[in-house]
Structure 1
Amino acid sequence: MADEGATPFSPIENQVMDALKKVIDPELGIDLVNLGLIYDVRVDDAGVCTVTMTLTTMGCPLSDLLNEQITQAVLSVNAVEECKINLVWEPAWNISKMSRFARLALGIHG
């Protein structure tokens, strides 16, 4: 999800975000977008998509599996030719980044 004040997503970037909603964290059973792990998505004029994201923990054992699933989801969007994943640790992920849907699904209230 793009930071407030950031450039709004293009239609293609919105399609990428929709595709990423199909990538489910196998440990939590919720998609990466609703978990708040996707920080930004940008697609350039050459069709190169850069997904800026984080993981819930450093050294996540599922990172290779998630990389494959993210790449497949991104490349499923017609205008995208290449997927680059920019894995960041700042800002650190916490439950406040989760959508209301994700918090309710996991039984987190507040």
Structure 2
Amino acid sequence: MSNEFLSKEMDIVNAIKTVYDPEIPVNIYDLGLIYEVDVKEDGKVRIVMTLTSPNCPVAESLPQEVHDVVADLEGVTSVDVSMTFDPPWDRDMLSDEALLELGLL
């Protein structure tokens, strides 16, 4: 992988880290809600994500927010955000940063 490609992937992850679950003061990446980020050389981005629960009140707005922050990045030509609940999210998916922020570490 080229440095430019890795930089684009890091930019995408950093953009996703600006999106927060409104009920938990941690970004959705560190919460473990992002299962996959696939970046193609042509700028097409595919993101697979979940929510803390299927009944989450931001089930429609959160994926759209992820789409929008990634689509705004230079070099991104298209963004596809897919939702899944398999596997279901659980607390074990929290990053060390999230555990620390929530006082669980």
TM-score range, shorter chain: 0.7 to 0.9
Q: Does 1:69 align with 2:62?
A: no
Structure 1 residue 48, shift from structure 2 partner: 1.9
Q: Does 1:32 align with 2:40?
A: no
Q: Name the amino acid aligned to 1:47.
A: G
Q: Does 1:99 align with 2:92?
A: no
TM-score by length of 1: 0.81
Confirm or deny: 8 A CA contact 1:19 1:76 kept in the other structure. no
Give structure 1 stretches of 5+ with no counterpart: 1-8
Provide Cα deviations, 1:1-52, integer angstroms capped at 9, x if missing partner. xxxxxxxx83312210011000011110210111011111112243221111
Provide Cα deviations, 1:51-91, integer angstroms capped at 9, x if missing partner. 11111101211022212210121112211122111111122
Confirm or deny: 8 A CA contact 1:49 1:83 kept in the other structure. yes
TM-score by length of 2: 0.85
CA distance in 2 between partners of 1:108 and 1:90 (Å): 25
CA distance in 2 between partners of 1:55 and 1:93 (Å): 7
Aligned residues between the structures: 101
Identity %: 32
Partner of 2:46: 50
CA distance in 1 between partners of 2:71 and 2:78 (Å): 7
Q: Name the amino acid aligned to 1:106.
A: L
Q: Does 1:14 align with 2:10?
A: yes
Give structure 2 stretches of 5+ with no counterpart: none
Q: For the aligned residues, what is the CA RMSD?
A: 1.6
